[in-house]
Structure 1
């Protein structure tokens, strides 16, 4: 296992997180209980953030409505895996949501139109764990 700062990403890691795999988002509630759910996500290596599109009625959005939470997002494919750790927040800002939908469409496919219900979760990544083959 490798432990990386967000500034230490590699071409192999960036390629892996551009492939069409789902991840598991885990949010840690203030009382310590986790909430985990499968998600499509996009790694923004330039800004060192993970973006997840969702909608206002999802539990993950409701958990983030009033506060930021610590979270992880993990992706695995055979022996290759990565986990991003950081602080998560949610927004309905139309520009941020539009950008996230475009990124999602490039990695996965065109998502369902959620209109004003669209939300974007942003994780500001402070640590990355990965399989050795994705590390420097």
Structure 2
């Protein structure tokens, strides 16, 4: 079920604030999918979803391999019959302000993450929302 990104309903947005684990699907350079569990946040005001990660992780390397244009990805979460998917273009950001902002958002939804000097943030500019919340 597709949703209008500019008119997401309260139930859909509330689902993205709950403590739910997600999956992030990226594509490897050979085109095969790489799906991993992640914690994620979504800011509907800016249309940006964020995933914090280590610089050397496969998901980060997949996004970086796509170059400056970024990589099309899917971020999903499911809880029984409720589900939500955000799709968009992902880039890796390593600026201290961007990482600190992503960590703050992650801590609000989940918990304070461990210190990680190799931390970066995968920022997804969402252009499609689907689901049933």
User: Does the alignment reach a TM-score above 0.5?
Assistant: yes
Separation in structure 1 between the aligned mates of residue 25 and residue 126 of structure 2, nearest angstrom: 14
Q: Which has the higher helix share?
A: 1
2:104 match? 102
Superposed CA offset, 1:17-66 (max 9, x none): 10001100001235421111000000111100100111111111111224
**Structure 1 stretch displaced more, 61-70 or 37-46:** 61-70
Superposed CA offset, 1:63-86 (max 9, x none): 122421110011000111000011
2:2 match? 3
Q: Does 1:17 align with 2:16?
A: yes
Separation in structure 2 between the aligned mates of residue 20 and residue 12 of structure 1, nearest angstrom: 14
Superposed CA offset, 1:80-112 (max 9, x none): 100001111111110000000000001000101
The 8 Å contact of residues 27 and 62 in structure 2, kept in 1 or not, is answered as no
Which ranges of structure 2 fall in alignment gaps of 5 or more residues? Answer: none
Q: Give the CA RMSD over aligned residues.
A: 1.2
TM normalised by structure 2 equals 0.92
Separation in structure 1 between the aligned mates of residue 4 and residue 47 of structure 2, nearest angstrom: 10
Q: Does 1:82 align with 2:81?
A: no
TM normalised by structure 1 equals 0.90
